[in-house]
Amino acid sequence: MRETQAQTVQVSALSDDLAFLDIVTEWDVDSAYHEWKAGIVVPPTFLAGSLPRVIAICNQKGGAGKTTTALELAMALVARGLRVRIIDADPQEASMTVWLRYFYPEARAEADRKNLMHLYFDQTVTLQQITYATPFEGLYLVPSFPDLEDVETKHPAGTDTALQYHLAKADDGIDVTIIDCGPGLGPLTVSALVASHDVIIPVQAASGLDVRGAAALNRTIGSVQGRLNTELRVAAVVLTDFEKSSLARQIGGKLAKAYPNAVILPARTSVRIGEAQLAQQPLRTFAPSATTVLDYDRGASLLLGNGTAA
Ligand SMILES: Nc1ncnc2c1ncn2[C@@H]1O[C@H](COP(=O)(O)OP(=O)(O)OP(=O)(O)O)[C@@H](O)[C@H]1O
Ligand SMILES: [Mg+2]
């Protein structure tokens, strides 16, 4: 792929839409349904993160909205002037690397076009070498392919701490790194959690809460917090594909209780997300006026203070 003129990303105006998703300190589970209005929960204990920052987007359940959340959150941060890197840590064929286009430097020989898999297997590869420009100014991608699965099956030495090591060493002016995890809790996800300051958990609000899956995720996060990364925190739960319903209200209530220190952010449903994926574009550029774009905007500014570059 050839490098082309990068596109700058605009910040959407919040304006009158602010009335829909108010910022509240607790999820309303008691008022009459017709009076209930979904809000963004920001607990009084929540502190916006400092830069540079590494955020893992995790849920072992497939189709929870991880990739969508990773990309739209990244675009919201880029629109605020930050330099953002997305790491595609999912070996599935239909992952971020297919959705988001990226460019190999023209001068680089084919054999030197490395990707995330090489970081785990090849001691000589650096994170800078596998971070590629995308069509959007300020947005970078570390791509991956199905052979990333080898990390799960062969588990090379140092897998757990490989990403943490390379991110700590990287001195490339990236403000926020977002790791899009696959639907599993294997070595790749553990490696992402070890490397991160924050975890964001997307949950499909309409498909019911997978209680056992949620418990397994919590055990994995807990074990990483206990051993390899004591600073790791669950910063947010994103209710993806959100529409007002009794089920969504109950799920939001349960999640707000389960993660009392996390932001609970509804990301409203948009039929245009599928079209945006097909067009290989983020929703933010494909349908900039979609309300989901505003939701991720607000999430981005809550998670990182005013979200502007230092
Ligand atoms: N706000 C939304 N409105 C409508 N559809 C959505 C929304 N967010 C996500 N989706 C849809 O949900 C589906 C799953 O989303 P996504 O691929 O982001 O999940 P995932 O957790 O990354 O999946 P996997 O576990 O396979 O990696 C996609 O078809 C996507 O278009
Ligand atoms: Mg995904």
* Ligand 1 pocket, residue 294 CB under 6 Å: no
Q: What is the mean pLDDT of residues 261-278?
A: 95
* Cα distance between residue 176 and residue 43, in whole Å: 23
Q: Which atom of ligand 1 is nearest to the CA of 69?
A: 18
- Is residue 68 lining ligand 1, measured as CB closer than 6 Å? yes
Is the distance from the beta carbon of residue 64 to the nearest atom of ligand 1 less than 6 Å? yes
Say what the pLDDT of residue 306 is. Answer: 60
Output the CA 99–ligand 2 centroid distance in Å.
10
pLDDT confidence band for 4 (50 / 70 / 90): low
User: What is the CATH code for 15-303?
Assistant: 3.40.50.300
Say how many Å lie between the CA of residue 194 and the centre of ligand 1.
24
Q: How many CB atoms lie within 10 A of CB 245?
A: 13
Listed by start position, the domains of the chain span 15-303
Grade residue 66 by pLDDT with cuts at 50, 70 and 90.
very high
* pLDDT at residue 210 in the model: 82
Mention every residue, 6+ apart, whose C-beta is less than 8 A from residue 200: 55, 56, 57, 58, 69, 73, 234, 235, 236, 237, 238, 303
Q: If we measure between CA atoms, which residue out of 198, 128, 129, 187 comes closest to residue 162?
A: 187
pLDDT of residue 110: 84
pLDDT of residue 17 exceeding 60, the answer is no
> Which atom of ligand 1 is found nearest the CA of 95?
27
The protein residue with its alpha carbon nearest to ligand 1, atom 2, reads: 241
The pLDDT of 295-303, averaged and rounded, is 93
Taking the centre of ligand 2 as the mean of its atom positions, its distance from the CA of residue 180, in whole angstroms, is: 7
Contact call for residues 178 and 199 (beta carbons, < 8 A) = no
Per the listing, tokens 């072992």 go with 60
Structure confidence by residue, pLDDT tens digits, 35-64 = 999 999 999 999 999 999 999 999 999 999
Q: Encoding tokens for residue 15?
A: 């304006």
Q: Whose CA is nearest to atom 9 of ligand 1?
A: 65
Q: Is the CB of 63 under 6 A from ligand 1?
A: yes
The alpha carbon of 245 and the centre of ligand 2 are apart by a number of angstroms equal to: 25
Let me know: does 78 contact 302? Beta carbons within 8 Å.
Answer: no
**Whether residue 77 has pLDDT greater than 80:** yes
Ligand of minimum distance to the alpha carbon of 202? 1
- Binding site membership of 229 for ligand 1 (Cβ less than 6 Å): no
Residues with CB under 5 A from ligand 2 (ion): 66-67
Mean pLDDT for all residues in the chain: 91
Nearest-CA residue for atom 14 of ligand 1: 63
Does the C-beta of 269 come closer than 6 Å to ligand 1? yes
pLDDT digits (tens, 9 = 90+) for 148-157: 999 999 999 9
Residue that has been written with the tokens 């090591």 in this structure? 165
What is the share, in percent, of the chain residues with pLDDT greater than 90? Answer: 81
- Residue 144 near ligand 1, beta carbon < 6 Å: no
pTM (predicted TM-score): 0.95
What are the CA-CA distances from residue 89 to residues 30, 93, 297 (Å)? 39, 12, 23
